[in-house]
Amino acid sequence: MSSSSSSSCAVPSHDGTPFSFGMESKTLAFTAIAIACTPFALLICWNFFLPFLFRIFSRTVGSTLGWYLRKSTEGRRALIIRTTTENEAKFRESKTTEEDGSSISSDNESWENIDGSMVGTSNNGDRDWDGIVGFFHPFCNAGGGGERVLWAAVRATQKRWPNAKIVVYTGDHDVSKDSMLSRVKNTFSIDIHPPTISFLYLSTRHWVLSSTWPHMTLLGQSLGSVLMGWDAFSLLVPDIFVDTMGYAFALGLSKTLFPDMPTAAYVHYPTISTDMLDSLDPTTPAGSQGVNAGKGVGLKGTVKRYYWKIFAAIYSWMGASVDVVMTNSTWTQAHIQSIWGPRRKQRGRVHPVAVVYPPCAVNEIERQIDISEESEKKRQKYIVYIAQFRPEKNHQLILQSFAEFVKTGTPSAKEAKLVLLGSVRDDNDSRRVYKLRLLVNELHIKDQVIFQLDAPWSEILQWLGKAFVGVNGMWNEHFGIGVVEYLAAGLIPVVHNSGGPKLDIVTEVDGQPTGFHATTTSEFADGFEKALSYPDPLSIRRRARQASKRFSEEEFVRRWLNEIEKLVAMKS
């Protein structure tokens, strides 16, 4: 009985070879080779076969859909061209009337005073080019650093190609064109030429909100940007498409639908980076930083890590499709190069990833704020933090650091006050501000913290002129326009020891410091003490202003036009 049971459980074998699973030797060998080669086959499929299928799809189905979109938006295109011509004629007529009356409005005067540095120096790109440039910026009324880039880019493009038509795709339905341009003027002191700019309103912006995707947020928002891209092209197909918010998937859609349309990306922050992947691992130096610090452990963490790696690979496909790529700092450039670079090389993209520092109001701040022995007497022990009320800006860290600093009881700590200057974009931001106010009460620093919400540029200038220290608390801040404004105003910066503030902005001048770096609450508290009790603050302020000149609007315009001229040359 036992003998019979044993034989019934044995694996059948034709030749008596153990672990043959009933297969012939040759069949077994081929099976083993196939299993061993499977990872390599998948790798080849991922890197070559799928991109090949994607290109075939782009040249057939994608191009057909693109042709349909172009035909269906011809009417709106003709309307925009006609309206622009009429508005330009009215503008010129009103200007002539004002000149005859010896009364030129400040806005018109500002527009007509075109600085030589604003029109570019390259021979590429005909100044008479009259095509349509589409700027994809769904949150163009947010009032942050990204929006300063957008509007400075729009103004530079208008002045370089006066006959071009500018279209901004936005989701701000409740804001009219006049209100939008008025806020741009008040917030950034940037004059946009009204006749040649149009706004097209997207109905799908909610698909890129994090609240829409409580799970798999990166992928969800990226797919949402594809829907927004389709929405945009359903309204109008431009001649050149420029993304200034970081929606790489919308750019990928653009190339799928319109392979011959030049595209550009201005990347403020990579959607995913090697630092983000490292932050999931608590054993790495980055494992204690960011909103996902140390979350790569356990089953859920392992799934998240693989999900991010797959997403990074898809993200690299999208980046490989872009003709011209600009980044706002050397930190962002390095990360985009590592993620997009290999595939861009495979696709034969000839233009390297360029660093185009964001435009900062360096010259205006220099005109408005004096740095001298006399002005030093007017400085007060204010520590200002200019930042939108977003989670990654880490206002909590700054509040906790300031509370720790106040507890030291030093003369500087007793006098110091923390001022939080930032825009509130939506209800989520409002809730964050409410929670920050609660935290201020819990930390018992209510009498030494000031909230200034949606402050206009004129008010920000006042704070920069009388404050002593500027602070930044974001880990791996992609650049940090606010930090540059600190330097230009002569504030002593205390910034996070990472990203753009560390690598590009708060660097030494002639071997001497322009500010301090910190990571922990204790280091920030120590930085506040050092900055507020610096023995010769005027010397460090002067070095700070000198360092800020690298980030002027003129420098941005020069670099921006150098890249956009490449796109215009592709259309000429």
Question: Sign of the C-alpha dihedral, residues 190, 392, 272, 519?
Answer: positive
| Residues constituting the chain | 572
**pTM exceeding the 0.85 threshold for the entire prediction:** no
**What is the model's pLDDT at position 114?**
42
Percent of the chain with pLDDT over 70: 82
Residue 384 has pLDDT above 70, yes or no: yes
Other Cβ atoms less than 10 A from the Cβ of 306: the count is: 11
pLDDT by residue (tens digit) across 477-527? 888 888 999 999 999 999 999 989 999 999 999 899 999 999 999 999 999
| Least confident stretch, 68-72, 104-108, 232-236, 345-349 | 104-108
**What is the model's pLDDT at position 133?**
98
Report how far residue 570's alpha carbon sits from residue 572's, in angstroms, rounded to the nearest whole number. Answer: 6
Among 437, 425, 431, 427, CA closest to 396: 437
pLDDT by residue (tens digit) across 88-136? 999 988 877 766 655 444 444 444 444 444 454 445 447 889 999 999 9
Helical residues (DSSP H) of 236-321, grouped into ranges: 248-257, 274-279, 298-320
Helical residues (DSSP H) of 189-329, grouped into ranges: 217-235, 248-257, 274-279, 298-320
Q: What is the rounded average pLDDT of the residues 268-290?
A: 72
pLDDT by residue (tens digit) across 283-318? 665 555 555 555 656 777 788 788 888 898 899 989
**What is the model's pLDDT at position 529?**
97
Token pair belonging to 193: 């030429």
Other Cβ atoms less than 10 A from the Cβ of 372: the count is: 11
pLDDT by residue (tens digit) across 202-253? 999 999 998 899 888 889 999 999 999 999 999 999 999 999 999 999 999 9
**What is the model's pLDDT at position 373?**
92
Report how far residue 518's alpha carbon sits from residue 521's, in angstroms, rounded to the nearest whole number. Answer: 8
**What is the model's pLDDT at position 548?**
94
**What is the model's pLDDT at position 458?**
87
**What is the model's pLDDT at position 344?**
92
Report how far residue 404's alpha carbon sits from residue 445's, in angstroms, rounded to the nearest whole number. Answer: 10
pLDDT band with cut points at 50, 70 and 90 for residue 37: low
* Helix, strand, coil content of the chain in percent (nearest 5): 60, 10, 30
Say if CB 212 and CB 105 are below 8 A apart: no
**What is the model's pLDDT at position 513?**
93
Percent of the chain with pLDDT over 90: 63
Report how far residue 216's alpha carbon sits from residue 35's, in angstroms, rounded to the nearest whole number. Answer: 31
Q: What is the rounded average pLDDT of the residues 265-277?
A: 87
Beta bridge partners of 418: 383, 449
Angstrom distances, CA of residue 111 to CA of 152, 178, 514: 13, 16, 35
